[in-house]
Structure 1
């Protein structure tokens, strides 16, 4: 009986710390050791370790922002660079400004990484920075087409408009945007785009479909004479 009692006393209680517990911190936990622990883990050669730490830096406020800036300036790995851009725009204008600076980086890959982050950023500053940037055109067209295929017509219109605002004779995009307007029953806007195509490509022999679509829009607006003419 005495032996059993002694053994029971040696068992840890539910509120005791178990020595030697090597349980790894969960992804949502703060890094042990605070900022010093963060910096130590960032010196790791493991890419996954660095990624895990970078994803938690927002929890450290201004100190986390400063570390992101430092990583963004020194790190050459494109995956890390893009993750830094993604995390740093959460800090508002200062973060967005940092990413915008990289639109002019000597590396085309880093420029593209910055564009991919800014194109999803809701801030007007990000959109203004991308306007006129030739590297952003293909990404807007790609995303707009993906949205069109998913029947996200307003999203597609927004993306196509970003391109058409400074490339005025892109007839294929006018045609895609006109289709989106038709699906949203915004027939006059569709007519405007289709008319723009006719003006740009007035000497083309392949405008039958454009006239047909514009005629259908006029029909929907009960402008029968114009519909018949088209």
Structure 2
């Protein structure tokens, strides 16, 4: 009887933590999105829908990277909202997760720079190109660093996510482009393609992790 009660109590605790994490993520994401859209509406009115959507997708990367980084710097706090067993797990994977955190933020910053680049945004084209290149270089370096520290299971997850992202890009981007070619809708802009690449990578990563059971509350 005690074992059943302990197991039930543990499951309740996990789901409470999961709900808390979702709540914190929703609040942080909603607040950052509101601030970004307010800034766009008040200062950068010419960004258009493509720029706004690109900026919002970029914020997902940046906020996620910041949350992971906060969890690493303060493991006891991170264990309360990150999907880990305890703070010791964060300490054990500190280096790998640090690479992941930096990579997520770098990817988000790169897309944000593209969203705010001229001619619609305030960042001059040469500056935007240089900033985008530097951010993507950091992303590549951190991705290599993460890959070197992955076990075989996580390498398989990465390969599956990359494959799913490719198929999603072909499906969504290909369909959109075909319909535009047939004159049925307006075709994707250059920035839309960048946003699509970033977005489908997120969707693919979450999809593969979900099918592998990595999103179960812990």
| Shorter-normalised TM range | under 0.3
Counting helix residues as a fraction of each chain, which structure ranks higher? 2
Larger Rg: 1
TM-score by length of 2: 0.24
TM-score by length of 1: 0.23
- The higher relative CO (CA closer than 8 Å, separation ≥ 6) is in 2
